Amino acid sequence: MIQFVGALAIVFIAGLLILFFIIRIFKRDFSKGVKTASIVAGILVVVFMVGAEIGLSAKVSNAEPSKSIPAKETKQEKSTISPELLASYGDMPGVMDARTDALTKKEIEQQKKTAKDMMNEKAMAPKLLKDGTKQYTLTANPIIWNLYEQKNVNASGYNGQTSGPLIQVKVGDKVRIVLKNKLNEPTSLRFQGLSVPKQMGGLPDQSVKPGDSKVYEFTVTQDMVGTHDYFSGTDMDEQIDYGLHGALIVDPAKGKEYPDADVEALFDIGSFKVDQKFDENVFTLNGKPSPNSPNFYIKKGQRVVVRLINSSSENYHAMHLHGYTFKLISEDGHHLKKPMPMNVVSLAPEETADIEFIANAPGTWMFHCHILDHTINPDDDVDAMQGLMTNFIVK
């Protein structure tokens, strides 16, 4: 429109100039001069108007079809692909929604139980081989995972769950972990904080193709004692946030790492990117955001140790417990010589921290991330404390 008005103004000025020029030629016959000039100016106006109109419409027709029409076609094309397949696409951010009725109530309860079992440090039973090796099989597979009400997603897990099953071993154990890849893309395992052989480094070229499997073997040494984790070492940013991470606890050869603890809890903090957002926007404890995260029940007076793992691939977490000052006793599996009293413990991605406190104050105490948008699920109507939150209930 602006170009059109501009062209008109130019035509008008040109017309005036021509008019004066012609008047000068027909000095003695003024009315004849005006008449001729008007005809010429009129023709020019019509020619310019038609020209401008053609030019504008050509511009519009050049710009539109190449952008907007194929975009619509692409959208339609994508919606016809199954969500399961779409979830495996590297260029799509995060996990795709699954149908809200894709899981039965029983299946959802079973998923919540895996989160609770993990909190209570119920470890996966190994298969004992003839030479005493402990063999654990982790099958990476697509799963439909319930996050919160009306939110089922096409995620990935190990043995049907995220976080993956807890692996608990002790110093001296010969460990054999078999990774079976039932995903539609290559994957691999990486073990954080363990001095494993170089072929277990989890480089992308050591990835396991879909349908294949790979064996990871190592002997547990004293320096490995502590809270650790395992996760996908392939396309990590995407695959870890699809759910491919789990916990690994190493105990001493005899007894427990924390013999004085009356009760222990384990929380593997995870994240998902839902609703095709490029940033992590759902945060979980053992795979479940509040209100589905497991509550931790403690008896008054108990000495409590909580093992924390940050398995978010992109976010720090600042975990805080109401009502208590706790002590940081171990970081990344290394015990602190002098435990550090604190109210907020920060964890970088893939960092672990163990904290301790004596449960001398009865009550229901929130344990949550203090980066407060991590305590909101995307579908929350109100600013409720959900997401990366649970309750420590001391009675």
CB of 323 to Cu ion, least distance (A): 20
Q: Report d(CA 151, CA 378) in Å as an integer.
A: 10
Return the closest-CA partner of residue 353 out of 320, 327, 330, 321: 330
Residue 96 CB: number of other CB atoms within 10 A? 21
Closest contact distance (angstroms) between CB of 344 and Cu ion is 11
Which tokens in the block code for residue 22? 């012609």
Smallest distance from Cu ion to CB 54, Å = 59
Least distance in angstroms from the C-beta of 75 to Cu ion: 33
Nearer to Cu ion, 285 or 394 (CB): 285
Write the CA distances from 368 to 6, 141, 202, 281, integer angstroms.
62, 30, 32, 15
Q: How far is the CB of 283 from Cu ion (least distance, A)?
A: 6
Whether 314 and 237 have beta carbons less than 8 Å apart is answered as: yes
Q: State the Cα–Cα distance between residues 192 and 333, nearest whole angstrom.
A: 10
Q: Least CB distance from residue 270 to Cu ion, whole Å?
A: 11
- C-alpha span between 383 and 263 (Å, rounded): 32
Which CB atom, from 190 or from 317, has the smaller least distance to Cu ion? 317
Q: Are 154 and 95 in contact (CB under 8 A)?
A: yes
Pick from 147, 200, 163, 177: nearest CA to 312? 163
User: What is the rounded distance in angstroms from the CA atom of residue 383 to the CA atom of residue 372?
Assistant: 10
Tell me if 99 sits within 8 A of 146, measured CB to CB.
no
Q: Which is nearer to Cu ion, 317 or 327 (CB)?
A: 317
Q: Shortest Cβ distance from residue 311 to Cu ion (Å)? A: 12
C-alpha–C-alpha distance, residues 32 and 74, integer Å = 64
CB 171 within 8 A of CB 252: yes
Q: Which three-class secondary structure state does DSSP give residue 201?
A: coil
Of 52 and 282, the one with the shorter C-beta distance to Cu ion is 282
Q: Which two tokens stand for residue 338?
A: 């002098």
Our CB check for Cu ion shows the closer of 228 and 317 to be: 317
Which CB sits closer to Cu ion, 140 or 388? 388
Q: How far is the CB of 158 from Cu ion (least distance, A)?
A: 23
Nearest CB to Cu ion, comparing residues 175 and 265: 265
Closest separation between CB of residue 389 and Cu ion, Å? 10
The answer to whether the beta carbons of residues 266 and 247 sit under 8 Å apart is yes
Contact indicator for 230, 248 with CB cutoff of 8 Å: yes
Interacting residues with Cu ion (CB under 5 A): 317, 369, 371, 374
Nearest to Cu ion of 171, 371 (CB atom) = 371
Closest separation in Å from C-beta 304 to Cu ion: 21
- Residue 36, judged by CB atoms within 10 A of its CB (0-12, 13-18, 19+), counts as middle
Residue closer to Cu ion by CB (options 213, 346) is 346
> How far is residue 190's CA from residue 207's CA, in Å, rounded to a whole number?
10
CB-based closest residue to Cu ion: 369
Task: Provide the 10 A C-beta neighbour count for residue 214.
Answer: 18
Which one, 226 or 270, has the nearer CB to Cu ion? 270
